[in-house]
Amino acid sequence: MRAVAVLFALLALALPSATGAGGSFTVFAAASLTDVFPRIDQTPRYSFAGSDQLALQIRQGAPADVYAAASPKQAQLLYRDGVVDKPVTFARNRLIVIVPKSNPANVHSVYDLRESGVKVVIGDQGVPIGSYTRQLLDNLGIKDAVLKNVVSQETDVKGIVAKVALGEADAGFVYRTDARPVSARVQKVFLPVWAQPPVRYQIAIVSSTPRKVEARAFVRKVLSTRGRTLLRRAGFGLPPKKR
């Protein structure tokens, strides 16, 4: 029974989720923030998924009050079009490769992912983790060789984590913060610092929200000393604190 419970828990990582106490306002946030945002504030109703998917939903009128993305791209496009107020960078991250604990493909370096038969999972090109992965592989000069071994492209980082943790892939590119919840089931393969793309998270208030007071309060909590401490404990990097 325990194995079944673990299986369902890992599968849940792959699905967009809505959590919270049914509060008076809603936060749309990147899937990689699933564990840390509720620690910062349990009040909102959260919807976690790929940043691009959430941005599209907001454009289509979904009832979001705050938007937090794993990349400046979507936040800045929404700001350009007047959909959100000016975004603020609140966290940073890095990419790593994770492999199943048993490591059946004997992956010990990112360069091993070029070998024939290695099953690699990455993010879809439209989501931040997919874009960052391609940038990193390009920086390393091995993009084409690794992409030919890709067996699945996921819509958010939790889908990648779940497939590797369940042994459905030999390796996957994720944020380092996403490996923590499944550390008992995966091994980490660290990537060269010089090849890392700058991973920046941005948060913005949806311009049309009638809940400006609550939304501003939430953003203040994320940017507060306590919010930054919780982000750091979760493995995120932090931008310099504005005075």
Q: What is the pLDDT along the chain (243 residues), one digit of tens a residue?
A: 444 344 444 544 444 445 544 457 999 999 999 999 999 999 999 999 999 999 999 999 999 999 999 999 999 999 999 999 999 999 999 999 999 999 999 999 999 999 999 999 999 998 999 999 999 999 999 999 999 999 999 999 999 999 999 999 999 999 999 988 898 999 999 999 999 999 999 999 999 999 999 999 999 999 999 999 999 999 999 998 765
Distance CA 157, CA 161 (A): 6
Beta-carbon count within 10 A of 235 CB: 17
Q: In the prediction, which pLDDT does 24 show?
A: 77
In terms of Cα–Cα distance, which of 41, 35, 5 is closest to 17? Answer: 35
**Domain for residue 238, yes or no?**
no
- CB of 29 closer than 8 Å to CB of 52: no
Burial classification of residue 146, based on how many CB atoms lie within 10 Å of its CB (0-12 exposed, 13-18 middle, 19 or more buried): buried
Alpha helix (H) ranges present in the chain? Answer: 2-13, 37-40, 51-59, 72-80, 128-140, 143-147, 157-165, 212-223, 225-233
Are 209 and 133 contained in the same domain? no
Q: In the prediction, which pLDDT does 23 show?
A: 55
Q: In the prediction, which pLDDT does 10 show?
A: 52
User: For the chain, what is the domain count?
Assistant: 2
**Domain for residue 188, yes or no?**
yes
* CATH number of the domain bearing residue 53: 3.40.190.10
Are 87 and 204 contained in the same domain? yes
**Domain for residue 240, yes or no?**
no
**Domain for residue 239, yes or no?**
no
Are 103 and 180 contained in the same domain? yes
Query: What residue type is 108 in one-letter code?
Result: H
Distance CA 70, CA 131 (A): 11
**Domain for residue 34, yes or no?**
yes
Are 87 and 100 contained in the same domain? no
Query: What range defines the domain where residue 209 resides?
Result: 2-92+200-233
Please, what is the angle between helix 2-13 and helix 157-165, to 10°? 150
Beta bridge partners of 205: 66
Give the global pTM.
Answer: 0.87
Q: Compute the half-sphere exposure of residue 10: CA atoms within 13 Å on the CB side of its CA.
A: 22
Helix (H, G, I), strand (E, B) or coil at 57: helix
Distance CA 223, CA 228 (A): 6
Are 187 and 128 contained in the same domain? yes
Angle at 135 between CA 132 and CA 138, to 5 degrees: 150
Are 70 and 107 contained in the same domain? no
- CB of 96 closer than 8 Å to CB of 179: yes
Are 31 and 106 contained in the same domain? no
